Amino acid sequence: GDAVTPSGQLVYSVTRQPLTGHLVLDGGASYVSTFTQFDVDSGRLQYLHTSKSPGRDSFTLNIKSPHASKGPYTVYVDVYEHHVAMNTSSLHLVAGGSAVLAPNIIGVTSSDRGDYIVKVVAPPRAGWLVKDGWTLANIQPIDSFAGSDLRERRIVYVSDKSANLARDVFQVMACISGETCTNPEPVEVTISQQNKQSPLILRNEVLRVMSTNFAVITNSHLGTEDTDTPPYQVFFLISKPSNGHVARVIEPDKAIYNFSQKEIDDSAIAFYRGSNSSVGSGGFSFLISDGVHQLGPEWFTIEAWDGQINVALEANSRLLCAPDTNAVISIDLLRANLPNAAAPEIVFAVHKAPRYGKLTVSGVESHRFTQHDVTTQHRPPQNEWTRRDSFTFTIGLNGTFNQPNGDEHRFRITSTYAALTPDQLQRLVSTQSLYVSRGGSTALNQSHINAGALTKKVAKEVILMEIAKEPRHGDAAWLDLPKGILTWSDFARGWPFIYRHSGESDRDDELVFYIYPASESTRSASRLRIQIPIRILPIRDHALEVSLFPRSIACISGGAAPLDQTSFFATHPSVPPQSIIYHVVQNGRNGAKIRVSHRNREKFSQEELNQGLVSVVHTPAPAGSAPADVIVFSIDGLYKTLIVKIRPLDLALENHTTIHYQQGKTYVVLSRSHLGAFSNGDRAKISYKIVLPPENGTFYWVAGEKETKEFSQDDVDNGRVLYAQLNMHSYKDSFEFVVANEGRDTVRNRSEIVVKSMVVAQPVIVEANTTTPITSSQLNASALEGATPRFLVASPPRYGRITLDLGSSHSALFFTYNDITKGKVLYQAFGNSDEVTENLELEVRADSVQPARLILPITILPSDDTGNGHSSKEKMEPDEHLQGEKHDEEAFLKNFPRLVKPDYLLHISLLGVIVSIAIMIMICRFRAASRKKKKLKSTKLDEAGEQARLATPRLSMDKPDLLGTTVFATIKSAETGKMLEAHKRELEQRNVRTPLKSFESPKMRGSLPLSAQRLAQDSPRARRHAPSLDYAGLSGDSTPPAMPLYQQLSRPAGETQHWV
């Protein structure tokens, strides 16, 4: 096409038709002479061959569009024969192994130039057909594969060892062009078995020999198990017994030194005491062998028992069973023999039944049974590894128990998970084979051994895993655990276990683990033995050389670690780097994955490593994960493990202080001194989330003035977040937050926001039983002069009280700064025998600013006559001070502190005379002064009003306030304007001109209506969403509200308001 003309307008005209065929549209019968590009794109144009012989055909055409015409063009069609054939041969491998399907196993010949497809018609029964790498934990069989896969030896037959079959067969057929296929052909698989498992000792009990001088050795005394060897091929090789000899029952005089497990099972082996042996214990040592593996040496104990013949109990061994199963008490465990008594006549009577199970005879619970029917049904709901039980019994003849041999005996029962049979073990512990290439390495994880069902059964126990037997052809170890013991919970969290093959042999290997509880770590009989087969895979290409591959790398939790050619390098003499592929056989179980060009990938090439495009990224796993992870690679069949050591992200709130800001300001910018979290990760990824917002304000971005509830540590470090106070009635606020990092670690905490008072407080020192005035040097509110500063007693004092009138019994709860300057505020200290400190909490209020609180420390020193009616035992508590108004005059005078310390009676007399004279003088002057005040009252009020309009509150601000310097003024009249101009010139002369700044960008704003202002004061939610951050003039005490700055000028009707 010409990239301009639509495909439907690009027309092909056939100028010469094919010679041995013709062109049709959609399989029609008529020839086609014209067609469009759209027909070609949609697959409608077809060539139909009409000849019976192969060869080459052609046709000629022209191309025409609305803009131009071109041609002619000749199109050639090659016609060839269409056939496919296939032949197969047999496949040989070892049980549990694998074999590659090569062209010599499945051979296909085809006339098609395209590749053929092999379809699996009937899959194998004792294995799987897979492509490339696989794991038995997550194996995915294929039902078809391409011829290129067969030629490149990528198709593998994997044997299922659990199938236990000697032969297998599957059927395949080859197809070309999607329709032409061969007949299904079988591929026979011959599976040979190998002796992989070593024998296991199940029982080694003491043999007791009575006065008969011989005893049969049964499988209740010696018992073994070998999953791939029959009992008649498992032999015991013994030393010479110390007090007799071992012989077959049919030949008691011929000593033997080896016998099979089958002979023991048949009770064909017995021990015979020597004629000269004394009473005592002995035994023999023995080895166990299945022809390939050998176990031992072990010791078999034989005890001599010279009891009387009427002691009928010949066998009383411990019953060993698995939980939640039935166990049979056989004759080898419990056997009695009474003279001239048959087995049905020997009766066992149970006196104390077992606690965790019940005895049954023919399915019915019973407390009496005979030697003929001894069985037990043991089904305890066991949540511990080992549980011991027992029952006591006596033996009688035909139900009679009054004979001397009716002594009471105890039968012991041990229920332990270490006695699980192979079938029971499969239900609680699942295992899968571990695959590794020759000379390679791999990792063991929970997909290969999963004891989760077992650990749930014994949730009370701490389950340990221990390497019981080292592999024969390699090394295996836990990462950073030299003792080889790990808890199951750590293994389930992904603690790395690495197996490295030595490369010296192609034979399969195995791992053997012990699983047991920590409470029984010293008891070898309590250990459960688990075997993990290791399958050794052959190396596909010996020319591949991996020259660089580290054993481990480090990666920060939640971060990334680059992989490049300086650490990972593989070469091949005939393969370019882009064709050397690293396949991820096993991903990390703790969040480690491979990423190529910012995308998760399961494979990558050496060329991508050379370009630095590959990295290991870690996604933080849940808390408690292992400190390392493992990724297993397959480099053209060579297995390599990469240990990723994860460095944890540290998170700590190092700086966390109360957020203070000066009274008179309406905001504070957060800094690192307020909220400072530490982490070894990116500070921009340390996030703060407000989970419980402040009640009297909110958080804003400095740039943009938008509210926020989430920000980062980097925002705090760079001063991008501020707290703005919305409720100007409040002196403090608080909020709760959660700080988190990339590792999902979180720290929850609470911060306080407190307004710092502009009043400076100095310590006050007084003496007990005295009254001391509070001066302006002790409470200095000069910074608020002009804003009517006033003080509210926030909490009543304990060791005295505040009063404004010496003659009153009431405590003052409110006073002004003017009262302090006039010396009216007094602190009356109560009697106290010890030095105490009164922390008087005061709330400071003033016009145009929010309230704030401060502490005035008052130290009270004991007086010399504290015991003179004013001891510490008699001092009043805070509740008594508040109820002082209800006390009568006599109680008040008794507790009233004295101003000075001379003689009490003399002072009373002098005080009475002085008071009488003062009253007479005050009455005379009062009348004269009242007449004079009436004349001056009008003039003073006019002067005071004019001064109030020109006065400016002297609030001390060291730095310009971005929020607080925005004020609302009212222009009254021409006269007022002149006064403002005069005041402005005066300020310019004093060089105290304040720059005009605003928290928001300059724009016109309108004031809130009075109703809206009242709503904002009453509703916290309304205050939180108020349109302005300027809150001058709010007052929260019971006194009349202070007049805001912009209302200090008179405001007649028709006034105009401006922002200045």
Residue 983, φ and ψ in degrees, nearest 5: -65, -35
Q: What is the pLDDT of residue 1042?
A: 40
Tokens at 944, concatenated: 């005071």
> 560-563 and 569-571: which strand pairing?
unpaired
Q: How far apart are CA 455 and CA 441, in angstroms?
A: 29
Is the CB of residue 589 less than 8 Å from the CB of residue 597? no
> What span, in angstroms and rounded, lies between the C-alpha atoms of 146 and 116?
6
What 3-state class would DSSP assign to 252? strand
Q: What does the pLDDT read at residue 981?
A: 57
324 or 867: whose pLDDT is higher?
Answer: 324
Burial group, residue 927, by CB count within 10 angstroms (0-12, 13-18, 19+): exposed
For position 970, what pLDDT does the model report? Answer: 33
Q: What is the pLDDT of residue 842?
A: 94
Both tokens of 809, joined, read 């019994």
Stretch 353-363: mean pLDDT, rounded?
A: 74
Closest CA to 346 of 389, 409, 390: 409
List the one residue out of 438, 495, 779 whose CA is nearest residue 634.
438
**What's the token pair of residue 888?**
């009568």
pLDDT range class, residue 914, cuts 50, 70, 90? confident
CA 52 to chain centre: 72
Which has the minimum average pLDDT: 90-94, 713-717, 1035-1039? Answer: 1035-1039
Domains along the sequence of the chain with CATH: 7-79 (no CATH), 84-192 (2.60.40.10), 212-306 (no CATH), 314-419 (2.60.40), 423-537 (2.60.40.10), 545-647 (2.60.40), 652-756 (2.60.40.10), 760-910 (2.60.40.10), 968-1059 (no CATH)
pLDDT of residue 803: 92
Residue 407's SS3 state is coil
Rounded CA-CA distance 218/873 in Å is 91
Measured in degrees and rounded to the nearest 5, phi and psi for residue 755 equal: -80, 130
Residue type at 218 in one-letter notation: T
Over residues 530-547, mean pLDDT = 87
Range among 308-312, 620-624, 893-897 with highest mean pLDDT value: 620-624
Residue 762: pLDDT above 80? yes
pLDDT for the residue 974: 42
Q: Are strands 852-861 and 764-767 parallel, antiparallel or unpaired?
A: parallel
At residue 320 the predicted structure's pLDDT band, cuts being 50, 70 and 90, is confident
Task: Quote the pLDDT of residue 306.
Answer: 54
Please state, as a whole number, how many other Cβ atoms lie within 10 Å of the Cβ of residue 822: 11
Largest CA distance in the chain: 152
- On whether the CB atoms of residues 630 and 496 are closer than 8 A, the answer is yes
Which single residue is written with the structure tokens 């780097």?
577
Q: How confident is the model at residue 483 (pLDDT cuts 50, 70, 90)?
A: confident
Q: What is the DSSP string of 145-198?
A: EEHHHHHTT-EEEEE-GGG--SEEEEEEEEEETTTEEPPPEEEEEEEE----PP
Question: How far is the C-alpha of 715 from the C-alpha of 721, rounded, in Å?
Answer: 7
- Look over the chain and give the mean of its residue pLDDT values, rounded to a whole number: 77
Q: Return the amino acid letter for 8.
A: G
For residue 729, the cross-strand partners are none
Beta-carbon neighbour count of residue 1049 at 10 Å? 17
Joined tokens for residue 436 = 């590794």
Peptide bond into 1041 cis (omega under 30): no
Q: For residue 892, what pLDDT band results from cuts at 50, 70 and 90?
A: very low
Helix, coil or strand: residue 99? strand
Beta-sheet pairing, 790-793 with 764-767? unpaired
In the predicted model, is pLDDT for residue 1001 greater than 90? no
Q: Which helix (H) or strand (E) holds 488?
A: helix 488-492
Burial 147-157 (b: 16+ CB within 10 A, else e): bebbeeebbbb
Q: For Cα atoms 115, 118, 120, give the angle at the middle one, nearest 5 degrees.
A: 165
Lowest mean pLDDT among 233-237, 278-282, 340-344: 340-344
Separation CA 466–CA 488 (nearest Å): 10
Instruction: Write down the pLDDT at residue 336.
Output: 73
Most confident of the ranges 185-194, 416-425, 770-779, 1040-1049: 770-779
Q: Could you tell me the pLDDT band of residue 1052, with boundaries at 50, 70 and 90?
A: very low
Supply the pLDDT for residue 521: 81
Neighbour order of strands in the sheet with 771-773: 771-773, 826-829, 800-803
* Helix/strand/coil for 336: strand
Give residue 925's pLDDT: 76
Q: Sheet containing 528-537: which strands, arranged edge to edge?
A: 434-437, 528-537, 509-517, 463-469, 485-487
Instruction: Report the pLDDT value the prediction gives residue 321, as an integer from 0 to 100.
Output: 73
Round to whole Å and give the CA distance between 556 and 1. 54
Res. 901 pLDDT band, cuts 50 70 90: very low
More confident residue, 621 or 98: 98
Burial 978-999 (b: 16+ CB within 10 A, else e): eebeeeeeeeeeeeeeeeeebb
The CA distance from 17 to 31, in Å, is 9
Give me the residues paired with residue 529 across strands.
Answer: 514
Phi and psi, residue 715, nearest 5°: -65, -40
Query: By three-state DSSP, how is residue 873 classified?
Result: helix
> Residues 771-808: pLDDT tens digits?
999 999 999 999 998 899 999 999 899 999 999 988 77
* Residue 173 pLDDT > 50: yes
Identify the H or E element spanning 917. helix 904-950
What tokens appear for 1037 in the block?
């005490």
- The interaxial angle of helices 974-989 and 904-950, nearest 10 deg, is 110
Task: Give pLDDT, residue 2.
Answer: 65
- pLDDT, position 363: 64
Q: What is the mean pLDDT of residues 452-478?
A: 85
Write down the pLDDT at residue 589. Answer: 84
pLDDT digits (tens, 9 = 90+) for 118-146: 999 999 998 999 988 777 777 889 999 99
**Which structure tokens are listed for 548?**
């660089």
Q: Give the model's pLDDT for residue 967.
A: 34
Q: Give tens-digit pLDDT for 402-451.
A: 444 446 777 777 888 888 877 778 888 888 888 999 889 998 888 888 88
The 8-class DSSP code of residue 663 comes to B
Q: How much is the pLDDT for 745?
A: 65
**Amino acid 285: pLDDT:** 92
Q: Across 205-323, where does the E strand assignment appear?
A: 207-209, 214-217, 222-225, 235-238, 244-248, 251-255, 258-260, 269-273, 281-289, 294-304, 313-316, 319-321
pLDDT at 935 over 60: no
Q: Looking at per-residue confidence, does 945 or 459 come out higher?
A: 459
pLDDT tens digits for range 606-661: 999 999 899 998 887 655 567 888 999 999 889 999 999 888 767 777 778 899 99
Give per-residue pLDDT as tens, 830-871. Answer: 988 889 999 999 999 999 899 999 999 999 999 865 444 444
Q: Give the strands of the sheet with 581-586, arranged side by side.
A: 552-556, 638-647, 628-635, 581-586, 603-605
Whether 827 contacts 856, CB under 8 Å: no
Average pLDDT over residues 222-251: 88
- Residue predicted with more confidence, 667 or 981: 667
Band of the pLDDT at 308, cuts 50, 70, 90?
very low
pLDDT of residue 997 exceeding 50, the answer is: no
List the one residue out of 856, 658, 660, 664 whose CA is nearest residue 760: 856
The percent of residues above 90 in pLDDT, for the chain, comes to 23
Query: Coil, helix or strand for 1054?
Result: coil
In whole angstroms, what is the distance from residue 909 CA to residue 916 CA?
Answer: 11
> At residue 140, what is the residue type?
Q
pLDDT of residue 654: 75
Give me 733's structure tokens: 């606020």
What CA–CA distance (Å, rounded) separates 1041 from 1029? 19
User: What percentage of the chain carries pLDDT values higher than 70?
Assistant: 75
Least confident of 249-263, 437-451, 735-749: 735-749
SS3 369: strand
Kindly state the tokens that stand for 141: 């069989």
pLDDT attached to residue 360: 76
In three-state secondary structure terms, 301 is strand
What mean pLDDT comes out for the span 177-185?
Answer: 83
The top-scoring range by mean pLDDT among 585-589, 781-785, 1033-1037, 1055-1059 is 781-785
Instruction: Return d(Cα 701, Cα 693) in angstroms, integer.
Output: 15
Asked whether residue 459 carries a pLDDT value surpassing 70, the answer given is yes
Residue 927: the pLDDT is 66
The pLDDT value given to residue 48: 86
Q: What is the pLDDT of residue 1010?
A: 36
When mean pLDDT is compared over 84-98, 689-703, 894-908, the highest value belongs to 689-703
pLDDT grade for 929, boundaries at 50, 70 and 90: low
Predicted pLDDT of residue 1047: 38
Prior bond to 72 cis, omega within 30?
yes
Strands lying side by side in the sheet with 560-563: 560-563, 614-618, 592-596, 599-600
Q: What is the mean pLDDT of residues 576-597?
A: 88
Q: What is the pLDDT of residue 839?
A: 93
Cβ proximity of 260 and 230 under 8 Å: no
Average the pLDDT over each of 747-761, 789-803, 950-964 and give the range with the smallest value: 950-964
